[in-house]
């Protein structure tokens, strides 16, 4: 995999140093008094992209990552603990790279530009203090997870997470494991664990990445430098036994990366081919379209530069506008503007010696003041320059929108389409919303949605399990949320993340900024948003995580909301992104101060997410063995970062849709280096093809979970379990035979849905432990995710079919 990636790009990173006299969407921007709080964007058109690369950055902690976000750096949705801190990936030009380095950031080698790997890595993190002082109190270790799994070529890996009551950075945890039943406790290996912090808060200890092991361990012992110790069994992660597809089952329907026009044509054709079980839904909000105003830039930086922008889109006549700067053959000539058709001529002023006397500010003002010229274009100085530099005469220059897509890609507002699949599409069945490509550069993701749609429709008549899914559910597939940005990514700037709508003021709207325009659609929603004070989005219009001018300002985001409101039977959702191999769910955002997370889902729902994850990720693993790591599975802030205003939070908190986020493209293990290697947004298609097929299997498994939910009529069963006693108190919890919530009372009253609800003990921890200091009559009942109530009890009624048990306290009987 590494060598194949290396072969894709071989150009050296070269920064353009000088702007030509006339720049028509073709030159590199130069810093022009950047704000101290910004990283000035420096994006090249597709004809000169060699300087832009996907680079590794190592920040020391979450505060460093938050600082990158606040600077508007174009970060990938990827993070990995490494020696020295957190590894993140960013799309940077040479100038941005240099500016970040000047600011003290550790910018390393390229991932997608394999021709220029960095020779050296940053210094390894210094060892933590070896031992606590003799007077330090012994800490208590709470095991969170201890699992082994196989991935790809059946190599075994170990993943462990443990939380210490000692939250300081000096506490060192060491894990030791055996090599199978009956073997010595340390026969498998030993490793120091890393301290995971987020927003300045200690979360738990874990390995930087899963550790390869030769034999399957059965137990692992974790010891703390403060004296704490715990030994726990190692369980298997993933690999749940699943029924094999029927012998007539067909798959593998994608053979190349597809742009949004192709993708939309594909689902339209599918609906036409299978009219009895599929239909196309035209979503109500058309996008702005794959189109741009035409522009040209004049002058040199910093001598004096201005640019003009057509009033009409390039495709609607803007590309026909031209501007000429003419030096009259006369002395003391005035500055004048004349227009013939769409050709604008600026006759520059001269002084008494016949030399040009017009400054860029004077030319800009003259163009904007002339009625005929201003009907065709607007003019502005480059990035708020004062405009004192003199303007040079220039031949007529035609404006251009710079767009490179073939004419088969429409320049009009795009009609976004969703494919609705189901034997009975009247809202009576549980709905599932599968949506892909909110971020333009994630080329694999629409293939996942297309592959899933193809499998459902083409196997309906030949595979009983598929038929049950289609007949038992109402499935909505939106393969490309962001068609404009994706077209731009395919044909103009491959690292485009956002849509194409330009909300930037004149100071950031010059041609050289064009690859930084747009709104991050997965930061434009209304729950936990930047506008509510949450972290992970930006108000800077050139930031990679620009949230837009307001919540739900973008038609692409409003389309998602409309669909989930129009079809309230939608109870499940899956938002597919890339890359990194994550599997996540709400909450997805927090406020940085105090790490104030959006309300966490209740214990029953959290357990449902985890239980479903095992089945869904086992389905992903079936294709070629890819395992999503336990450490990359869980609520978004617990495994990645805060993403203010994301769509999963929108759909969960506003409409109760149980939704997951896939980040397809799991790291690939390189046995030669014994390291995991990231795959990037646009891996060679051979890799992208495998990702599409394996994660389509995951989407099918989500449909299976939704169907099981729809058909669930079994009532949960729970038990009270005493977990500890002293003479003064008793501690207990509850066990349940399926994911469910428990409501309980301790005062002898009848439990209702307003009673206390059992919670988790903490982030990624087990069930809450309840301690009473006197003999107590406990009354409770459980309710599963589908709404089935234990024993048929009616919480809003008067019956007494709730469960009850007396918890004895020895000293108080």
Residue 285: predicted pLDDT: 98
Q: Identify the band that residue 600 occupies on the pLDDT scale cut at 50, 70 and 90.
A: very high
User: Within 10 Å of residue 395's Cβ, how many Cβ atoms?
Assistant: 10
686, exposed or middle or buried, with CB in 10 Å at 0-12, 13-18, 19+? exposed
Region of 352 please: left (phi>0), alpha (psi -120 to 50) or beta: alpha
Strands 322-326 and 343-347: parallel
The token duo for 258 is: 């597809």
Alpha-carbon distance values, 268 to 308, 365, 604 (Å): 40, 50, 39
The model's pLDDT over 569-586, given as tens digits with 9 standing for 90+, comes to 999 999 999 999 999 999
Residue 136: predicted pLDDT: 54
The Cα 185–Cα 189 span in angstroms is 9
The model's pLDDT over 606-630, given as tens digits with 9 standing for 90+, comes to 999 999 999 999 999 999 999 999 9
Q: Identify the band that residue 244 occupies on the pLDDT scale cut at 50, 70 and 90.
A: confident
The token duo for 297 is: 């830039």
Closest CA to 20 of 248, 297, 251: 297
Residue 813: predicted pLDDT: 59
Closest CA to 416 of 520, 258, 578, 560: 560
- What are the backbone angles phi and psi of residue 557, rounded to the nearest 5°? -70, -40
The token duo for 126 is: 């210094």
Residues 256-284, mean pLDDT to the nearest whole number:
98
The Cα 502–Cα 524 span in angstroms is 14
The Cα 540–Cα 292 span in angstroms is 20
Residue 69: predicted pLDDT: 87
Is residue 167 within 8 A of residue 139, CB to CB? The reply is: no
340, exposed or middle or buried, with CB in 10 Å at 0-12, 13-18, 19+? exposed
The model's pLDDT over 705-730, given as tens digits with 9 standing for 90+, comes to 999 999 999 999 999 999 999 999 99
Is residue 373 within 8 A of residue 345, CB to CB? The reply is: no
Q: Identify the band that residue 247 occupies on the pLDDT scale cut at 50, 70 and 90.
A: confident
The token duo for 111 is: 């991932």
Q: Cβ neighbours of residue 363 under 8 Å, at least 6 residues apart?
A: 306, 325, 335, 346, 348, 379, 391
Is residue 429 within 8 A of residue 472, CB to CB? The reply is: yes
Residues 473-491, mean pLDDT to the nearest whole number:
98
Q: Tell me the β-bridge partners of 803.
A: 780
Residue 632: predicted pLDDT: 95
Residue 212: predicted pLDDT: 95
Residue 59: predicted pLDDT: 94
- 26-40, 171-185, 255-269, 722-736: least confident range: 26-40
Residue 200 has pLDDT above 90, yes or no: no
Q: Identify the band that residue 113 occupies on the pLDDT scale cut at 50, 70 and 90.
A: low
Q: Tell me the β-bridge partners of 760.
A: 767
């Amino acid at each position: 995999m590494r060598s194949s990636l290396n072969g894709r790009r071989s150009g050296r990173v070269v920064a353009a140093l000088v702007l030509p006299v006339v720049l028509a969407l073709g030159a590199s921007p130069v810093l022009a008094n950047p704000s101290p709080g910004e990283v000035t964007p420096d994006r090249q058109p597709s004809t000169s992209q060699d300087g832009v690369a996907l680079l590794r950055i190592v920040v020391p902690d979450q505060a460093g990552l938050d600082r990158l976000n606040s600077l508007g750096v174009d970060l990938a949705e990827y993070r990995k603990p490494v020696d020295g801190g957190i590894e993140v990936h960013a799309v940077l030009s040479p100038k941005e790279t240099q500016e970040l380095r000047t600011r003290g950031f550790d910018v390393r080698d390229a991932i997608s530009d394999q021709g220029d790997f960095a020779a050296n890595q940053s210094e390894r993190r210094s060892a933590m203090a070896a031992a606590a002082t003799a007077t330090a109190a012994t800490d208590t270790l709470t095991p969170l997870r201890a699992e082994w799994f196989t991935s790809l070529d059946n190599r075994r890996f170990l993943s462990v997470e443990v939380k210490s009551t000692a939250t300081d950075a000096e506490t060192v945890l060491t894990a030791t494991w055996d090599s199978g039943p009956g073997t010595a406790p340390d026969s498998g290996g030993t490793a120091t664990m890393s301290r995971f912090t987020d927003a300045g808060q200690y979360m738990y200890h874990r390995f930087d990445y899963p550790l390869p092991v030769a034999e399957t361990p059965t137990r692992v012992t974790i010891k703390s430098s403060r004296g704490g110790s715990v030994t726990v069994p190692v369980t298997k992660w993933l690999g749940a036994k699943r029924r094999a597809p029927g012998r007539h089952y067909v798959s593998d329907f994608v053979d190349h990366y597809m742009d949004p026009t192709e993708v939309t044509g594909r689902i339209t054709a599918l609906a036409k081919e299978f009219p009895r079980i599929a239909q196309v839904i035209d979503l109500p909000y058309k996008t702005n379209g794959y189109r741009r105003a035409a522009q040209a830039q004049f002058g040199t930086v910093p001598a004096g530069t201005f640019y003009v922008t057509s009033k009409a889109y390039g495709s609607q006549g803007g590309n026909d506008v031209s501007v000429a700067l003419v030096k009259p053959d006369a002395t003391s000539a005035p500055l004048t503007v004349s227009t013939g058709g769409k050709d604008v001529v600026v006759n520059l002023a001269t002084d008494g010696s016949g030399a040009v006397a017009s400054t860029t500010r004077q030319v800009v003002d003259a163009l904007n003041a002339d009625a005929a010229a201003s009907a065709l274009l607007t003019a502005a100085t480059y990035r708020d320059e004062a405009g004192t530099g003199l303007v040079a005469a220039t031949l007529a220059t035609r404006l251009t929108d710079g767009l490179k897509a073939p004419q088969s890609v429409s320049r009009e507002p795009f009609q976004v389409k969703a494919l609705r699949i189901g034997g009975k599409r009247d809202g009576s069945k549980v709905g599932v919303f599968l949506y892909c490509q909110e971020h333009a550069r994630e080329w694999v993701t629409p293939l996942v949605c297309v592959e899933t749609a193809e499998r459902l429709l083409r196997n309906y008549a030949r595979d009983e399990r598929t038929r049950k899914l289609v007949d038992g559910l109402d499935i909505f597939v939106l393969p490309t949320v962001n068609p404009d940005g994706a077209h731009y990514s395919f044909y103009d700037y491959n690292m485009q993340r956002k849509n194409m709508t330009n909300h930037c003021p004149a100071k950031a709207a010059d041609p050289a900024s064009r690859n930084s325009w747009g709104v991050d659609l997965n930061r434009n929603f209304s729950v936990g948003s930047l506008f509510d004070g949450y972290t992970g989005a930006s108000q800077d219009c050139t930031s990679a995580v620009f949230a837009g001018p307001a919540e739900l300002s973008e038609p692409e985001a409003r389309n998602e909301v409309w669909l989930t409101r129009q079809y309230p039977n939608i109870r499940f959702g899956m938002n597919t992104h890339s890359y990194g191999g994550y599997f996540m769910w709400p909450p997805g955002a927090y406020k940085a101060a105090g790490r104030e997370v959006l309300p966490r889902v209740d214990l029953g729902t959290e357990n449902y997410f985890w239980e479903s994850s095992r089945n869904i990720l086992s389905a992903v693993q079936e294709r070629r063995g890819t395992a999503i790591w336990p450490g990359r599975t869980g609520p978004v802030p617990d495994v990645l970062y805060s993403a203010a205003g994301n769509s999963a939070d929108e759909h969960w908190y506003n409409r109760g849709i149980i939704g997951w986020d896939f980040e397809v493209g799991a790291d690939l293990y390189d046995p030669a280096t014994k390291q995991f290697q990231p795959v990037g947004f646009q891996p060679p298609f051979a890799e992208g093809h495998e990702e599409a097929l394996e994660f389509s299997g995951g989407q099918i498994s989500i449909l299976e979970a939704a169907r099981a939910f729809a058909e669930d009529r079994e009532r949960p069963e729970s038990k009270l379990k005493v977990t500890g006693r002293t003479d003064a108190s008793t501690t207990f919890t509850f066990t349940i035979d399926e994911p469910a919530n428990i409501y309980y009372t301790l005062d002898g009253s009848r439990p209702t849905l307003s009673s206390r609800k059992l919670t988790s003990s903490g982030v990624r921890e087990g069930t809450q432990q309840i301690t009473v200091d006197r003999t107590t009559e406990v009354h409770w009942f459980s309710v599963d995710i589908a709404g089935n109530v234990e024993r048929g009890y009616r919480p809003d009624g008067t019956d007494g079919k709730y469960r009850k048990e007396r918890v004895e306290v020895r000293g108080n009987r």
